[in-house]
Amino acid sequence: MKTALVCGAAGFIGSHLVDFLLQKNYHVIGLDNFVTGRKENLSHLAENKNFRLIEWDITNAPNISEKIDEIYNLASPASPVDFTKRPVFILQTAAQGQTHMLELAKNTNARILFASTSEVYGDPLQHPQVESYWGNVNPIGIRGCYDEAKRFGEAITMAYHRLHKVNTCIARIFNTYGSRMRPEDGRVIPNFFSQAVSKQSLSIYGDGKQTRSLCFVSDLVAGLYALMQSTSHEPTNLGNPREMTILELADTINKITGNTAPHKFLPLPPDDPKQRCPSIDRAKTTLGWEPKVGLEEGLKHTLEYFNQ
């Protein structure tokens, strides 16, 4: 039986990853400080003997003595709300947190996955974004704390790989959605669903013509696992390449929720990316991975959660 350590286990993606690994017969240790995660995301596992949740802030070195085979470091606040609320903590979590996890990987010979983000491409000038693109990031802008935190996380991961031969991999995650997202999270899907189920106008920032591509969480988790099982050390984009405008997304959510309130247009926040779409050629070739869940299908699953 393999042991996996999941940092950020009580978060949206982390909790789905824990479920996935337990189904694959892993022994799973979850670490979380609950800054944005919630214990109830894992409450269904309270009796599961193969799972242990430890309250821990990864800016402190973890105290783990058992043999670890795989470390998934997903711990980081990730929503735009947090960029203004806790910018220093975001930077510290990537810098100190990822360093602690790399040390643990070095000492235990574990393979480690760093959850990076499409935000490393900033407001991209190249489209779709391929991994070889270095990005267009404003380091001192409002999103700089997150973008640069993740860029540092990638840099230190590669440094440990090159210097200490740590078995690392980097997932550049694009917008992901599904159940267990916090309604007040500030990201587009929870925003739209919270408004749509209470029959309010959906808030569109700017003219709504900016694009996003959205990956359903089960697809993303399968991609993280495939990357961990691979021998790749290069950053790998994981996301759904189906691109849509924010307006198109808003109309689809209104359609499936039966919401008829007209959209509400608000000023675009600074540094909001105009286009986001992954090239997933690398993931297809090296992992044999691509998303399977269509937009309407994924949104309908997500609606069940926001309707609860």
Ligand X SMILES: NC(=O)c1ccc[n+]([C@@H]2O[C@H](COP(=O)([O-])OP(=O)(O)OC[C@H]3O[C@@H](n4cnc5c(N)ncnc54)[C@H](O)[C@@H]3O)[C@@H](O)[C@H]2O)c1
* Span from 12-20, 42-50, 123-131, 293-301 in contact with ligand X (CB under 6 A): 12-20
Catalytic residue among 146, 160, 177, 225: 146
Contact status: 93 vs ligand X (CB under 6 A)? yes
Considering only 5, 29, 75, 283, the residue that binds ligand X (CB under 6 A) is 75
Considering only 4, 28, 53, 58, the residue that binds ligand X (CB under 6 A) is 58
Considering only 11, 62, 144, 235, the residue that binds ligand X (CB under 6 A) is 11
Binding mask 140-179 for ligand X (x = CB under 6 A): ---------------------------------x-xx---
Q: How many residues bind ligand X (CB under 6 A)?
A: 29
Provide the minimum distance between the beta carbon of 157 and ligand X in the complex, in angstroms, as a whole number: 13
Contact status: 293 vs ligand X (CB under 6 A)? no
Distance CA 252, CA 15 (A): 27
* Annotation marks residue 205 as catalytic: no
CB 220 within 8 A of CB 173: yes
Closest CA to 206 of 125, 248, 126, 264: 264
Q: Which two tokens stand for residue 87?
A: 């910018």
Distance CA 283, CA 287 (A): 5
CB 250 within 8 A of CB 202: yes
Residues of 10-40 as b/e, b for ≥16 C-beta within 10 angstroms? bbbbbbbbbbbbbeeebbbbbbbbebbbeee
Helical H segments across 230-280, by residue range:
246-257
Q: Which two tokens stand for residue 292?
A: 């399977």
Considering only 4, 6, 8, 218, the residue that binds ligand X (CB under 6 A) is 8
Identify residues 108-137 at the interface with ligand X (CB under 6 A): 115, 117
Contact status: 35 vs ligand X (CB under 6 A)? yes
Residue 201's Cα: distance from chain center in Å?
A: 27
Distance CA 17, CA 180 (A): 12
Provide the minimum distance between the beta carbon of 76 and ligand X in the complex, in angstroms, as a whole number: 4
Provide the minimum distance between the beta carbon of 8 and ligand X in the complex, in angstroms, as a whole number: 3
State the catalytic residues: 146
